[in-house]
Amino acid sequence: GSHDTMTYCLDKRSVNGNESKLLKYLNKWLPCIVRPIIMKWSTTQELTVTEQLEAGVRYLDFRIAHKANDPSVNLYFVHMFYTTVTVQDTLWQILRWLETHPREVVILACRNFDGLTKKLHHHLVARIKEVFQSKLCPRYVSMRSFFPPFFKNNILRILLIPRGARSGVNAMLSSFCSPQRNTSCHLLIFVSGKFFVAGINLTENLIYILGHPFGSLKKITLQSLPCLKIWIKQQHPGSQKDCINIIAGDFIGNDDFVKYVIELNEKI
């Protein structure tokens, strides 16, 4: 998996309006200095979403938000800055990739929902329906019974997990689904709580970032990769409490990260 999947296209002119007062103050008076520094610590990926999928990533981490004071209903991804691309455009990209890879499963972990009103939540749901249409699946499906028959029938699947959504959002999303639609050739399933996800990304705060103006998240991530590689090889996939099904990291195109994670399947 990739952590903060969409940070390869952050817009340094568009700072998240819900960040700390200190960042807002510095951005107002020292934008030419502060923004490049913050950008280096906000970018967690360099490959596009399509390139990540091609590299072997099957878990996409989406922080979805609405820009403060934006009169439009456009939704973006966010990590200190908003992205240059919209959520809707990204969903179309994923759909196009999936249509050429009919035996793949992609998990979309949606979270944050910063600035989304009830109306905007409905808008997000409508866009998902617009993109995937009849590719929806009943919400309450056993993973054990779900995967084998669909692999056998060469059916394309998308699994979407709403994470940290406001009250009622999960119900909104699941309202798409009905048992009668289970014969669809493309499926969207909501399986919150069904996977064990390990995020091996490094976390820094604003004070640390400002104190290291010549550093970057990429630099310290690459330095830690040898240790992370050892840790990954020690993990075991499965349904037990001490097992991990998904490992999401930063800069997944470096040091064969995806290869190490996929090789864990040999332990099953």
Domain boundaries, the chain: 7-193
**76-79 and 186-190 as β-strands: parallel, antiparallel, unpaired?**
unpaired
Torsion of CA 227, 39, 120, 131, to 10 degrees: -70
Looking at residue 166, the DSSP 8-state letter turns out to be P
How many residues are there in the chain?
Answer: 268
Residue 149 pLDDT: 53
pLDDT tens-digit series, residues 9-65? 999 999 887 777 888 888 889 889 989 999 999 999 999 999 999 999 999 999 999
Residue type, 16: N
Residue 177 pLDDT: 41
Residue 242 pLDDT: 81
pLDDT tens-digit series, residues 175-197? 444 333 332 223 333 344 556 77
Catalytic positions, please? 3, 79
Contact 87, 76 (CB under 8 A): yes
Residue 146 pLDDT: 55
Q: Which of 266, 261, 220 is nearest to 244 (CA)?
A: 261
Give the pair of three-digit tokens for residue 53.
């999928």
Note the pTM of the prediction, 2 decimals: 0.83
Residue 121 pLDDT: 92
Residue type, 197: V
- Specify the residue for token string 């103006």: 213
